[in-house]
A and B are shown apart, each in its own frame.
Chain A
Amino acid sequence: MAETHSLQDLRQAAVASKVFVQRDYTSGTICKFQTKFPAELESRIDKQQFEETMQTLNNLYAEAEKLGGRSYLEGCLACLTAYTIFLCMETHYEKVLKKIAKYIQEQNEKIYAPLGLLLTDPIERGLRVVEITIFEDRSIGSR
């Protein structure tokens, strides 16, 4: 009758429903997700915790798409080498995406999985939505 699950347990649990957090386009086409707390998660997680996660994700994506000296330098260098540099070098965006993947996994392990939730990395959904899978809250494993 334990309420908490680990990430491993979740893989064997049954999916109750999924919540999709859509993109927020008010600032243009940059990658940003809505921070509004979905009603379906009210019973599962603290609103502030969720908003903090979404805000950190948004900040990370903003960092990836930031227009600054570094990105311009990368762009100019790529142009001069006829863009062949993209074949050998990992772009700044890709580096931040790895950071985001790590952050999501960490959040899942520490916060969401024990509450029976699972965040899916938005890149797996084409950066359209943050998919939150709600698992059934029943105990897994025999006693």
Chain B
Amino acid sequence: MKNCEYQQIDPRTLRTSTTRTSSTLPCGRKSSHRLRRKWEVFPGKNRFYCDGRIMLARQCGVLPLTIGLIFITSGLFFTFDCPFLVHLTVFIPVIGGVLFVFVIVSLFQTSFTDPGILPRASPDEAADIERQIDNSGSSTYRPPPRTKEILINDQVVKLKYCFTCKMFRPPRTSHCGLCDNCVERFDHHCPWVGNCVGKRNYRFFYAFIVSLSFLTSFIFGCVITHLTLRSQGGKGIIQAIQDSPARYPFFTNCTLNSFCTVVELVICFFSIWSILGLSGFHTYLVASNLTTNEDIKGSWSSKRGEESGNPYTYNNIFTNCCVVLCGPMPPSLIDRRGFLPADDAPQTVTSDAELPPFMAKNDTNMCTQGTKELIESMAHSTVIQSTCTPGTPKTAPVTQESLLSTVSIAVSPPSKPSTGCSDRQARRPTDMPCPQRGNKRAALHVHKPMLRLPSPPYSLGHSPLIFSDAPDMGFIPLN
């Protein structure tokens, strides 16, 4: 006779398991068999490649054009000018090669590195901040721009609240409307590199524009030398262009040779002005420890005779340069390749204990999922004596409506990009030959929430200063 032993099923555990399954179902399926990485649910408008190792802004701008122009011009240089000039000195192709590699590497570093994106506040954090703001006496509806004033090096600095990221932005941080992220030490969003320029990739950006100015000047100089040497046969420059050198049989097609030389000349001539101007401008910014954003807005210019200097400067050009370009490299804060917990729901507060006052404000019930459930089910299974009310599905009240939207942003996967590299710029050509003049003119157009300053390598004579409105962002216009 079999000895059957039956274990009495605890009705409480039964009810818990049913509530757990019933409450998880409407909340959407999670990938139960594969752990997802954090980049897959990143709320900003970014693209990730190589399993999160490489990131770009979703609007890549004219990055392919930048890469194409650099490759084409350098290719033409190495193909048509170097064979001629190598007889002058062998260093010409070597220097050209080194500069080219430097330009490409720094361009890729600028484009593919996290510029210093700040992750959005977790729901608990956002709730805590909201509570602090409400305690300080603001009205319950969405108030006028929330700011917090702090003292940095005896200078009053206003910290603004970011409605998208649900936190007070640290100093020098700005929200980029194109990427929908708060970026630390935000300089500008550069469509030519297809990414924001911020704390972590400013040095790469600076290296890129400086090396690019050297490269374009070098190529320009070599092309002029090439043409001059050809014409020194006494036949004049036109004849020199049309002459086909017999020593280079591969390139005896003089039409092709002359066409390519002219192309190089035109590209280099027009890009030198803008690139050199931009390099000069950024050298000034580096030396005074400013960002383009601050300079354009005139944050630290002395107004009305008040001495409101830049609180971040070390008052020494050398120190400022060292700090900006050679300072310690901060880590990426967004942890793209980290794994999401098996149930990627935000932590919620239990309803067992006496609720802190701010929690009781809103009666909205959110279906519980994830860690809270796990903790509870474990607590139920280990604690035999029941300390919690049986039968009621455990739900955690959420403070405000805004938290729901934050949670839905955090949990839902990123929406597909609507357009590829759509160009949303309103071009307003402005000359920028030298930093001071360019700044004064640009300072007139200050009242826009977000600034995009392109660094065009080969623009046609102008370096347009592009401003665009941040679209449907819930952040405060920066004045």
Contacts and interface: CB of A to CB of B under 8 A. Distances in A.
Nearest to A87: B109
Interface stretch (B134-142, B165-173, B300-308, B429-437): B165-173
Contacts, number: 141
Interface in B87-137: 101-102, 105-106, 109, 118-119, 121-122, 124-125, 128-129
Contacts of B203: 75, 79, 83
A45 interface: no
B350 A97 contact: no
B330 interface: yes
B350 A127 contact: no
Given A12-B379, A67-B323, A92 B102 contact: no
Nearest to B157: A25
Given A12-B382, A93-B331, A128 B375 contact: no
Interface stretch (B65-73, B148-156, B247-255): B148-156
A85 B199 CA distance: 18
Nearest to A136: B353
B375 A79 contact: no
A29 B350 contact: no
Contacts of A18: 124, 128, 347, 349
A64 B331 CA distance: 11
A16 B328 contact: no
A120 to B, nearest CB: 10
Interface in A46-88: 64-67, 71-72, 74-76, 78-79, 82-84, 86
A91 interface: yes
A67 B383 contact: no
Contacts of A17: 349, 353, 356
A142 B311 contact: no
B124 A66 contact: no
B418 interface: no
**Which size bracket describes the interface of A in this complex?**
35 or more
B382 A83 contact: no
A82 B101 contact: yes
B207 interface: yes
A79 B207 CA distance: 8
B382 A142 contact: yes
B330 A20 contact: no
Contacts of B387: 138
Contacts of A111: none
A79 B159 CA distance: 33
Interface string B165-184: 00100111000000000001
A14 B125 contact: no
Contact of B378 (A12, A26, A72, A142): A12
B295 interface: no
Contact of A83 (B106, B129, B379, B384): B106
Contact of A75 (B167, B325, B378): B325
B105 A140 contact: no
A91 to B, nearest CB: 5
Contacts of B323: 67
A87 to B, nearest CB: 9
A106 interface: no
Residue of A20, A67, A92, A126 with most chain B CB atoms under a 10 A cut-off: A126
A10 B335 CA distance: 25
A20 B384 CA distance: 34
A12 B170 contact: no
Name the residue in A27, A76, A79, A131 with the highest tally of chain B Cβ atoms < 10 Å from its Cβ: A79
29 contacts: A12-B375, A14-B352, A14-B375, A14-B376, A18-B128, A20-B125, A25-B152, A26-B152, A28-B152, A71-B327, A71-B328, A75-B326, A79-B203, A79-B207, A79-B326, A82-B101, A82-B109, A83-B105, A83-B207, A91-B328, A91-B331, A93-B328, A124-B335, A125-B122, A128-B170, A131-B124, A136-B353, A142-B384, A142-B385
| CB-CB nearest 5 A-B residue pairs | A75-B326, A126-B119, A82-B105, A126-B333, A14-B350
Given A67-B327, A75-B328, 7 more contacts: A14-B379, A20-B124, A25-B152, A25-B170, A71-B327, A91-B328, A93-B329
